[in-house]
A and B are shown apart, each in its own frame.
Chain A
Amino acid sequence: MPTIAIDAHSGETGPTPAVRAAALISNTTSIDVLVVGQANPIEAALGRCSYNPERLRIRGIENVADSLEETVNRVVSGEADAMVTASESTQTHRICGRLLRRVEGLGHSPMAAVVPTAPRPGNRDPFALILDVGGEPDCTVDDLVAWARMGTAYASRISKVEAPTVGLLSTSSESNEGPSDVVAANKVLSADPHLRFVGNIQGVDIPQGAADVVVCDGFSGHLIVGLLGGIGDALMEAARGAWTQRPTWRLGLRLLGGAVMHFKELTEHESYGGAPLLGYDRIVICALPLSGSEALANAIKLAAKAHREDVVAAVTQSLDVAR
């Protein structure tokens, strides 16, 4: 079973969510968890949780500021097979860029996330993959092309779709319209025999399930994922309002109970936890800095799955084939 290292001090709310996530995983799965951070607060938080020490180890550090670096080191040394952090993406990029080996020829490592979509033909996964979502606006044509290939490799392993469809996010579905980089990337991707490229797609097409993999610059991807989370929160707030306003609406919500919970599962980041940082020789799952224990536990599960499916090899191979 894989060992997943979790950076205990990366979140904005202290080590408790990471410790609770590790404790939950130790109790409910056969994944081994390595909690990296200052021993004192970790043990204090652990004492309040239900946990299984057979599957949870603590690696104490002196300085809280070193927790991300120490976590990466545990993966580099082979003590852990993959890692989870809720650090700011720029810090994660910086430290991973320094300590891990990037896939040869890749300019920029993308961060991938999932967005819920309508059912897609031949794909039972309710989520499409979107990359990059790291927030960086600058990317090159080569980046977009590489990300399409990497996203395909990742989705085929994780979502179990043999040949995922790829869409390029643009302001128009016409191949010759939109930003110049997107137009140029469209040409390269259209000619790639290893991809099922469906052409340009617009924002409205994403939730309709136009593609299994959506490729875009980090700035756009970040906005899309954030917007989706906001819509989910707003609808849950509306449901809360309805509950308090009329007995008939309350009855309706009770009747719709399962559907409402499913909707929350689909839209809430806590349900899918983290975004893989692709293009390195190790698996790194990035969670939001405000992640709670459920999000981090799901991020740990995702890291274990990525290790089990050998995502690093698949992503590396996808770029090798294209050369």
Chain B
Amino acid sequence: MNPGPARIFRWDLDKTYLDTKFDTARELIRIAMEKPEDKHTLPGAAALMCALKSGPDGHRHRIEVLSGSPKQMRRVLIAKFRLDGVEVDGLTLKDNLKNLIRGRFRALRDQIGYKLPALLESRVDVPEDTREVCFGDDSETDAIIYRLYADLCGGRIDDDTLVSICNAAALYPDQMDRVRSALHDLPTVDPVDRILIHLDARSPLTRFDGFGPRVAVTFNAFQSALVLIGDGILGEETMDSIVHSMVEQHDYTPRRLASSVEDVIRRDLLPQDQAMDLAARLKLQVEPQRVTLRPTVEALIDYPKRIEDTRRWHRERARQRQRPSMRAFLFGTSGTDDDSGR
């Protein structure tokens, strides 16, 4: 029997690996037209991916990228990975042309209906003991998707709950069928060790309260690497290349890195002693911090509520980007100029 890879690292692409800004349709079109050399990798992300691929134990792990970018970008993205010196084992992209032709406009933007079946299906042929680490960001619903994926694989969600979740996420019937079919073929094993969410949209940390101890929100690749060192998934020696990349290519200062370490300590993402030792090794001046202990027990999530909360958060963010109405300006309340004003 093929023992399979030791570990799978699942990555989202935009805002997790690539530094992409797309809040408007125009920006989406611009991104689609970009050449590989025009695309920017997030500081340290390529170095982190390379470090993960090698692993501390000499294993060759798998890097699987699952992105909502259109399939037509495959060549450009592969070229971009090559430019970054990153070897990716799988690249799954969204068939938005097909969605468009079938008139499934909701699917153009939807992530849960696209990613959840894709994750489950990709797990079917993987050896049961293969562990996974998932990387996403806070701009969409990655934390929900990865946690749901883990809960489904672990058999913690019954069929009725699954239906209510799929309804809340507005999945198409065929997407729901794919989820059920994949689950039928999967052994009941939760394969996810860690879910790392890059705070690209700078969401407040409290937005991720209740996701449990395995979801770690980080602000940069350096912090993600620190978390993985704490987990024993990365070796401390890999920090050199990540730090080098961030300092040399992205103008990170020792001070910014030291601040990142202090933040990780405060949030209990890496034990204080280990973090201080590592900081000393990297010649970073870090002061001891008061640690807020993380929860150790993982409670089941009310997914329909989480999905609705996320939608509301996105709506609120979009509203905040608009110029305040005169009424809101005068009275400090939300609303538009079309409100009655009384």
A residues contacting B by CB (< 8 A) are 27, 32, 39-40, 43, 46-60, 236, 239-240, 243-244, 250, 253-254, 257, 260-261, 264
B337 on interface, CB distance cutoff 8 Å: yes
A261-B202 in contact (CB<8A): no
Give the docked Cα–Cα distance between A52 and B263 (Å): 10
A43-B326 in contact (CB<8A): no
B287-A59 in contact (CB<8A): yes
Residues of chain A with a CB closer than 8 A to B266's CB: 39, 43, 58
B290 on interface, CB distance cutoff 8 Å: yes
Give the docked Cα–Cα distance between A59 and B341 (Å): 45
Give the docked Cα–Cα distance between A27 and B200 (Å): 11
Interchain pairs with CB closer than 8 A, number: 74
B290-A48 in contact (CB<8A): no
Spot the interface stretch: B61-69, B92-100, B167-175, B252-260: B252-260
Looking at chain A's contact residues, the main secondary structure is helix
Q: Give the 5 A-B CB pairs with smallest separation, nearest first.
A: A53-B263, A39-B290, A50-B202, A54-B256, A47-B205
B232 on interface, CB distance cutoff 8 Å: no
A60-B290 in contact (CB<8A): yes
Q: Across the interface, name the chain A residue whose C-beta is closest to B329.
A: A261
B289 on interface, CB distance cutoff 8 Å: yes
B204-A47 in contact (CB<8A): yes
B341-A58 in contact (CB<8A): no
Query: 16 A-B pairs, CB-CB below 8 angstroms?
Result: A39-B290, A43-B266, A46-B205, A48-B206, A52-B202, A54-B219, A56-B259, A57-B259, A60-B289, A60-B290, A239-B330, A243-B326, A244-B341, A244-B342, A254-B326, A254-B337
Residues of chain B with a CB closer than 8 A to A57's CB: 259, 262, 287
Quick one: given A60-B290, A243-B341, A250-B341, are A50 and B326 in contact (CB under 8 Å)? no
Residues of chain B with a CB closer than 8 A to A49's CB: 204
Give the docked Cα–Cα distance between A57 and B287 (Å): 10
Quick one: given A47-B205, A239-B330, A244-B342, are A54 and B259 in contact (CB under 8 Å)? yes
B262-A50 in contact (CB<8A): no
Give A190 Cβ to nearest chain B Cβ, in Å.
46
Give the docked Cα–Cα distance between A33 and B289 (Å): 16
Partner among B206, B256, B331 whose Cβ is within 8 Å of the Cβ of A55:
B256
Residues of chain A with a CB closer than 8 A to B223's CB: 53
Partner among B260, B290, B329 whose Cβ is within 8 Å of the Cβ of A53:
B260
A53-B341 in contact (CB<8A): no
Chain B 100-143, CB-CB to A under 8 Å as 1, else 0, gives: 00000000000000000000000000000000000000000000
A257-B206 in contact (CB<8A): no
Q: Across the interface, name the chain B residue whose C-beta is closest to A38.
A: B290
A27-B202 in contact (CB<8A): yes
Give the docked Cα–Cα distance between A54 and B263 (Å): 8
B24 on interface, CB distance cutoff 8 Å: no
B224 on interface, CB distance cutoff 8 Å: no
Partner among B220, B257, B263, B331 whose Cβ is within 8 Å of the Cβ of A240:
B331
B202-A243 in contact (CB<8A): no
Residues of chain A with a CB closer than 8 A to B256's CB: 54-55
